[in-house]
Structure 1
Amino acid sequence: MSVINDEQKIQIVITGGTIDSFYDTEQCTTVCHKKTAIPEFLMKFAKISKDEFELFPVCMKDSRDIGTKEIQEVSNAIINSNCAHHIVTHGTFTLFESARKLMALLPDDHGRVIVFTGAMWPLVGFSPNDAGFNLGSAFIAARLAEPGVYVAFNGKLYLPNDLEGLH
């Protein structure tokens, strides 16, 4: 077993969204957990050990409630991290918009791989769902893509300015 250094470690920046939600039957919609379920899922089901990633929770919000303040916090988390590879979990409503906003905040020569991902169904409590697949796709992309900002969704890797997005 090899030791994971910061260059290989993936920072996971948590912002909430459906991927990190549960279905509330009274409200008839998904609601973000108070605390992320992603690390437990990664360790239990994807067999990704805790030393392969570092967690940075920014918020647990529906993406329609994520504004400039939260995107600035995501940017700060990435820039201040020793990791070169990053995944941002995010709701799907404003996924591409947030990726574009982050891209505008970063210097052109940031040298980091940043992959946004989300899901149409929650990671926990729905089976089958797209959440684990999208999260796994984001891990592969974060490990293999060239520096830049991307969106991993449904087995595809998009650029933030791609028009087809999730439509």
Structure 2
Amino acid sequence: MGGHTYYSFSIEPEKLLKIGYVLHRNKANKKMMPTYQRLLIKKTRLKAIQEFVEDGGFFPNSIIININADGRSLKFDQAANQEDNHISRIGILHLPKKYRSAYIIDGQHRLYGYADSEYKSKNCIPVVAFVNLDRKEQVQLFMQINENQKPVPKNLRNTLNSDLLWNSDKLKMSKSRL
């Protein structure tokens, strides 16, 4: 994608949390510049995500990571009987078993929202993993994602929520549409 090697897969949040690292913009990471993640991971947001997940919610959009790997620590076993004329391959990706080998470029709150959840080992989350992007490319990717995302206007959210709750069995929720 974009001339870069990448993998698309799903994984239990607990496993990604063990190897993931958020490259925050702080003095501790100054020697690793350029860095890109905002310093604050909002505890209230993490708690809200945990509650959302524990109520059966899920996120179908991918966490974006960069895997720092040498030739031995990242291995892809391609499945047999695949057609040669396709550019995608199916198989098993063996991730490095080392903390800080996966830098979380986008989705830090979604991932860390699972940290204290009973679903951290029961759910799978989608991931797009680039391999060995240099820091400048990680910063550019972070900026592209965050500059081009547009929040849904509150008026549209209210209208859609009203439509969803119109026939709710819970009287209080169905009345909220009025």
TM above 0.5, yes or no, is: no
As a proportion of its length, which structure holds more strand? Answer: 1
Greater Cα radius of gyration, structure 1 or 2? 2
TM class by smaller structure: under 0.3
